[in-house]
């Protein structure tokens, strides 16, 4: 699939005179650094990494500059809020099995996911691209002194295709540095979005939709045909929705969601040393006037989300 595809026609509506910028800067509100992505100087997204960060993740911001995603840390680096290991848009597995044992790269128990190099930071009229080389590390070392489990190439494309919503295309490419298995359970592994901690305190106001409309048990939907999932959540006086579109080429086993604003797709996979796995997701974040409360409103939203998914799928080569 062509990475970060945003059509000129859709972009031109509402954004044609605005300028994208991206820069690697010291993080003023959290430990480490961040690659800031701005549109006409308004902060849209930030890739968080560096000293004091146990994992690499993406923050998203709302139309009024409010932080929409969870940071899990204070400026001093102390854990903050409910489940502080959930951070922004992130990836991880709580049981990675290898010759080194079983490692937890979800809760980050003695483990680390480190950004090694920023390969590319680039902007065009359509949006901003970030490409980073990232390493996944075990809590133990082998007889040669290596704790490396995976090499990752993460490609992120940030755009505003209609001037009203933020679209994040992310490709995670994982290469095994030793024979291993990505394992765990759907609530503690996979590719996820976590809304800001405020949402955990207002969990009775969140809601979800997903496709196909299968039964849910304990915040878990089991299917290899999962297409998309959508969270509606409050931030301050505003309302937002985040829809995750799951590429049809992705391995998929389950959808996980929790009322405090964490949701995502899960799968297991065994990889031989040198084997590569690539997965692709689109995150669409948009402001709402109010949440959908009626069945009619939810059905309209479902049709709109399905249209987003079908447009997403059409971009894949066949």
Residue 3 lies in a domain: no
The pLDDT tens digits of the residues spanning 11-21 come to: 333 445 789 99
Residue 9 lies in a domain: no
- Within the chain, where are the H helices? 8-15, 197-200, 295-314
Nearest to 241 by CA among 195, 202, 278, 200: 195
Residue 253 lies in a domain: yes
Residue 101 lies in a domain: yes
Residue 157 lies in a domain: yes
Q: With contact defined as beta carbons under 8 Å apart, do 133 and 115 qualify?
A: yes
Host domain of residue 91: 18-314
The percentage of residues in the chain with a pLDDT greater than 70, rounded to a whole number, is 94
The pLDDT tens digits of the residues spanning 130-147 come to: 999 999 999 999 999 999
**Cα-flanking dihedrals φ and ψ of residue 233, to 5°?**
-150, 155
CATH of the domain at 152: 2.70.98
Residue 7 lies in a domain: no
Instruction: Please tell me the distance from the alpha carbon of residue 165 to that of residue 155, in angstroms, as a whole number.
Output: 20
The pLDDT tens digits of the residues spanning 291-313 come to: 988 999 999 999 999 999 999 99
Residue 181 lies in a domain: yes
Does this model's pTM top 0.85? My answer is yes
**Total domains in the fold of the chain:** 1
Nearest to 152 by CA among 136, 168, 138, 139: 136
Q: With contact defined as beta carbons under 8 Å apart, do 82 and 260 qualify?
A: yes
């Amino acid at each position: 699939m062509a990475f970060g595809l945003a059509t000129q026609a859709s972009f031109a509506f509402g954004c044609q005179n605005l300028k994208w910028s991206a820069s690697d800067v010291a993080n003023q509100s959290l430990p480490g650094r961040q690659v800031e992505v701005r549109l006409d100087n308004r902060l849209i997204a930030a890739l968080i990494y560096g000293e004091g960060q146990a994992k690499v993740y993406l923050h998203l911001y709302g139309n009024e500059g409010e932080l929409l995603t969870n940071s899990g840390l204070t400026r001093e680096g102390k854990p903050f809020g409910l489940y502080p290991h959930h951070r922004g848009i992130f990836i991880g597995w709580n049981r990675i099995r290898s010759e080194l044992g079983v490692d937890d790269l979800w809760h980050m128990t003695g483990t680390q996911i480190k950004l090694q190099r920023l390969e590319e930071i680039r902007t065009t009229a359509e949006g901003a691209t970030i490409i980073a080389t990232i390493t996944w590390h075990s809590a133990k070392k082998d007889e040669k002194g290596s704790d490396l489990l995976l090499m990752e190439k993460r490609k992120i494309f940030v755009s505003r295709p209609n001037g009203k919503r933020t679209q994040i295309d992310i490709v995670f490419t994982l290469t095994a540095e030793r024979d291993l298995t990505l394992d765990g359970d759907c609530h503690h592994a996979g590719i996820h979005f976590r809304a800001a901690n405020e949402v955990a305190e207002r969990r009775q106001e969140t809601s979800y939709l997903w496709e196909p409309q299968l039964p849910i048990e304990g915040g878990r939907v089991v299917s290899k045909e999962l297409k998309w999932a959508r969270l509606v959540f409050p931030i301050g006086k505003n309302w937002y929705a985040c829809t995750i579109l799951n590429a049809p080429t992705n391995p998929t086993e389950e959808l996980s969601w929790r009322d405090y604003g964490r949701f995502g797709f899960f799968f297991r996979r065994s990889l031989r040393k040198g084997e590569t796995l690539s997965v692709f997701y689109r995150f669409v974040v948009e402001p709402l006037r109010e949440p959908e409360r009626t069945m009619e409103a939810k059905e309209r939203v479902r049709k709109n989300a399905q249209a987003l998914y079908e447009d997403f799928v059409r971009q894949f080569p066949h």
